[in-house]
Chains A and B, each alone.
Chain A
Amino acid sequence: MEPRGEVFVLGLILSIVVLLISIFISVWARRFTRNLGDYYVAGRSIGAINNGLAMVSLALSLTTFIGLTALIIEGLYVAVAVYAAFTAAFIGLLLLAAPFLRRHKSFTTMAFISERYGSNTLRYISVVVMMIVSVLYLAGNLKGIGIVFYFLLGVPEVVGIVVGGLVVTLYVTLGGMYGVTYNQTFQTIVLLFCLMFPVAIVLRTLGASGWAFPPLGYGDMVPLMTQTVPHYFWAMVVHPVVYIAIFLGSFFGIIGLPHFVMRFFTVRDAKEARWSTVLCVFLVGLVNTTVYATGFAAVYYMQTQAVDIPTAAYDYVVFILVEALAGEGWLALAVAGSVAAGLSTVAGLLMIMGAGLIHDLYGALKPEVDDEKKLKLSYGAMLVVGILVILFSLNPPEFILEAIMWAFGIAAAGLGVPIVMGIWWKRTNKYGVGAGMVVGSLIAFISWIMIGYMGMDPVEIPFPIFAKYFYGPLGWIKVTAIAVPISFILTVVVSWLTPAPGEELQRQVDEMHGWSDYDPKRYNGKGLPITVIVLSIVVMWFMTTLYDMFPK
């Protein structure tokens, strides 16, 4: 897609307004930060509505605007299934982790893993996994802001990356978690407004009778779509194990993504953590179903009105549609919404990276350093991390959404499994978790290096036994259906074969579930570990037994 060639003044003004309000909110919120707890977890004072809204903006990164619709155009039903799993995954996060993590009183995922299993080594390993996951997740988002500036506002991409990056670094550094939270709440409201309304107008122009409610408003356009594009709703484009891999990556990946988990350490109590997640899943679903409608509208528009949008421009199809069918005023809103979406995700990731480096890494290496000095160091670390991220984002991986899907896989195997098992099975110990998280995350990470980074064909990677099953569209996603089960199996088996953790570590499990007394029998049965092992084996067996049944 060619850049606009001239500055889109209205879009630029709205985007600058979003940036300025973000800085203002952060400066305003700075007054609440008095100590390290305020800086990293907002003094654990955030309410359910505020936290739920903040989580929505974390979940809806720039890929919602410039990645998902492109995937829908190319992948149709499969793309919708990816995001459907991502939406429902928040309930997985709620059921398995959210309120329990809040009761644990840690600051971060890495601190939780270290304290739950009584191991500083696990803390260092989890910091490394967190950095890999965060960089993969983050790389595309800042670059995306640059792309929005370049193609839609006529401003050079580098300017977009630097300005967007500096703004977000500034407000994260200044405002800490208070600033990030209030900004994310503001950005969610902007995002909802700036996506829902333009898409409704697009659907109205295309003739959808239910345009006022985009998520389910285009049913009467379906018959013409299925005549023109019969495979639009076809689920059989991929092997069924792909959907299981998407489920594993989404459900355990979201639990493993430290910037999501960190939000639960900021709320007042477990009840607020629970209800904030319910609010979040409702709003994330609302936005995602609206984006499905946008993808549908894009394909419908191209096929029924003989409009040719080049493949290279699929990432910007939301903006192309809005400009063509709704007008420049709505386009300006959509652009401002996408800038807000990008900023919020980058902010959350910067926050967890700074916390990981100072609180978890430096704090563990130098336990004698007091909180006041750590707070001062945190300001500096956040600034340095922000600048490094800006430099990195000048040349990130090409396909944003693919990098994020890999991040989910690595997070699921490396951090999601230790968190879930640490909450639900007392017998889990540091040896089991160490084996599971190292092997699981390495399987996913090395596969990303070979497939995602070096561009190797998935079926040709040197992965014993399983590589030949990674065939077909999105075949590489099946790596997650190996990495996560292996992480679970190793965690359970090695924990069983090695000494049980001490009572003080097991006691944490009862406390996380809200029990004031300790009972060694609670969360210590054989049912869960056996079920986990059986299901893990079934998932891997499922992939191999269906080898010849589905097209390669």
Chain B
Amino acid sequence: MSSDSKKGYKLEVWVTAICFTIVAVTGGFFSSIVVIMNERFYNQVPTPEQLVPFYGESMFVTKEGFLGFPMHYFWLIVLSWIGATVIGAIWCVIMDRLEQQQRL
């Protein structure tokens, strides 16, 4: 493998791995993180009328975030949509350049 070829190969693999990790978090693991780190995303002091039948006293109340939406919900919909699109576009630009180098 020539040095240029090796550089291109490593670029492809690492950029893909990084992009996939980011999009896996924003599109999938994000909600698991919300559940596990629930205190970061919710207030834990419900008023009586905010209690719901699911888990009674352990109910959490959402914190407000951006544009009126709770923080975790806003990030879920924005990152899984705009975030994913931007990551995809960045990856495409890098791969377009790599493809040009491969042709030379």
Contact = CB atoms under 8 A, between A and B. Distances in A.
Nearest to B81: A285
Contacts of A219: 66-69
Contact of B28 (A223, A244, A522): A244
A289 B78 CA distance: 9
Given A94-B88, A514-B102, A85 B27 contact: yes
* Interface size of B as a range: 35 or more
A376 interface: no
* Interface size of A as a range: 35 or more
Contact of A243 (B23, B28, B60, B102): B28
Given A91-B88, A219-B68, A230-B46, A250 B27 contact: yes
> Which among B52, B69, B76, B80 has the highest number of chain A CB atoms within 10 Å?
B80
B14 to A, nearest CB: 11
Nearest to B91: A95
A94 B20 CA distance: 10
A84 B77 contact: yes
Contacts of B51: 230
Given A240-B35, A519-B5, A216 B73 contact: no
26 contacts: A80-B73, A87-B27, A87-B84, A88-B28, A88-B79, A91-B88, A94-B91, A95-B19, A218-B68, A223-B64, A226-B62, A234-B60, A235-B31, A238-B35, A240-B36, A243-B35, A244-B28, A247-B27, A247-B29, A251-B24, A251-B27, A285-B80, A285-B84, A286-B81, A515-B102, A551-B55
- 10 cross-chain pairs, A with B, having the tightest CB-CB distances, nearest first: A88-B27, A247-B28, A219-B68, A285-B81, A84-B80, A240-B32, A243-B31, A219-B67, A88-B84, A240-B35
Interface of A: 77, 80-81, 84-85, 87-92, 94-96, 99, 210, 215-216, 218-223, 226-227, 230-231, 233-241, 243-244, 246-248, 250-251, 270-271, 274-275, 277-278, 281-282, 285-286, 288-289, 292, 513-517, 519, 521-523, 550-551
Interface of B: 1, 5, 9, 12-13, 16, 19-20, 23-24, 26-32, 34-36, 38, 41, 46, 49-52, 54-55, 59-62, 64, 66-70, 72-73, 76-85, 87-89, 91-92, 95-96, 98-99, 102
